[in-house]
Structure 1
């Protein structure tokens, strides 16, 4: 049974301990115990009304004080009744000694069990607990690292998703621009085909006019060549070459006009300024995209830094909490070791007291069994009675203290 440190307190361990009457002091006086005469115990007429009162301090640090007042011992006038009374008291003391021996053996068993139990506790190996604490700490650090990697992966995934969405929007914009340009190209192709057909029809018409003009000219030449000029003062003939030249110039001007109109129409459709405007717009959009991408990168960097700081703060707090728990466990372990050392010291003290009491009880038993209480002076008889009573009462006081501590 474990004894609390408050169960038995030695009031002043530094004081000189007043030792109980030892065996050496008894034997050195060479006391020969014989039968005690009734009138020789203490004064009084015939020994009547005599009271044995003893007060002694045993050597347990000065804290165990025994004050025993015996019951009135009536010494009869005759020696027989006095001896009977003393024998009865001696039998009672011997019975008390036997009961105290039983209590002492029980206490020895309890002390031995307590010592064995606490000896195992003192020799306990805490390396497994420290290993478990270290494994938990490493697991928490690994968990923190994995959580940080997961957060970084999530942020990287969000970054790539935003980039993909921006690129997708840019691709859709470019595709819509390409679709519009394809429509313009188709319109220009249709316009070009229409103009080419018009040019072809005009060219055919010009060829037809030239052919008809040549036929008309040949016919007129034939008519003029076959006629005879009768009158000398006839009107001057028509200059057909000039007329044909004029007609040719007119048709060429018309053709040039149509060609110029077609060219102007084509140039208006495919205007260089519009293309430059589209190029500028694309350049501006690229610049906006790059600025947005830079802003996104800065925001992601700030977010990652904030998340990292928060994660470091959280896990530093957890590490501080774990460190406090470890410090508390170490303090409890130190307190436990201190308690064990104090209990071992108390156990050693109790074992010393027990050994000394056993020696004194054995000595007094030999004195009681081997010698008779005979003719002694009153002072020596009183001293002998004190020597018999004091160890028994000391043992009883110690046992009561141990039982009280056991109850606590």
Structure 2
């Protein structure tokens, strides 16, 4: 019996995150014929597969392919595939079917995930279905309130500045009036000292007048005594010499002296009274004028003090109002900052979820592409093996043993060359 066998081993190619390792042995059909028989027994090829599997991670490893072709004389049965080889093919088909089922399930899961991602984008994205128009009015009202509060705050600040300027002006006027008041009080004190001096001078003059009056009374009394004494002397004397020279008229002299002194005293008294009255009137006029000025200054100072107190009260009220508005503004800013921080955190979390979804989608797309690549390669391998089996079976059934042996050998070699070139091109 003549036999021929050959073995072919394919290379391994790595690819992607998945790995598929395929190895097997293929045995060509053998024909046996006996010397005295006319029947031809053709045994089917044996295809043994091992190590078919897929996973995420690793590489795509090609298997080893071995085939043997034998030819011998003799008669045998008519079966193309033995029971063990049929079980092997059935197991391979079952594995391929389960693998294709897994691929189909992964495609469905991928489509479901794409649908979920699309729905999530539609929900999270700016959808025209959501109506924010009810919030626009609230936002506009809040903006108007904030603008009104800002305007009121600016107006209050302006009023406070005006009140501060007015207070500074009133303070300047008050200081000026206080200086004038102090100067007027100093003048009044000076006039009071002058009045005291005039009062002392008046008292002195009155004392002088009293002394002059006493002296005048004393002189009058002495004059009367001297006059009475002279009258007594004149009455007691007798004129002896008739031709004597006329005597001195003492009475006339005394009367003249008395008149002269009385005129001088009256004149001094009148002059003193006139001077005293003029000075008194002048001082009274000055005191009245200064008193009026003092009263007007006091009333003006009282009015200014009352105005200053009112302005201080108004300033305190405006300051308290300003503090309240500033507190409200701080509360509003803090509330809006907290809301903005919450919205920013929500946006950040949504962006993180979106990034995770994108990463998952890219990873699943890569896995899907890898699985589709593995599926296409497996389908090509199965189609190649099926063509080899069908071609060799058809050639062996229509030829005599010698031709079948020669053509089977050539076809096996050609098919092995084609499969090798096909695998070389594919891998």
Q: What TM-score do the two structures reach when normalised by structure 2?
A: 0.40
Larger Rg: 2
Taking structure 1 as the reference length, what is the TM-score of the superposition?
A: 0.42
Greater relative contact order (CA < 8 Å, ≥ 6 in sequence) = 1
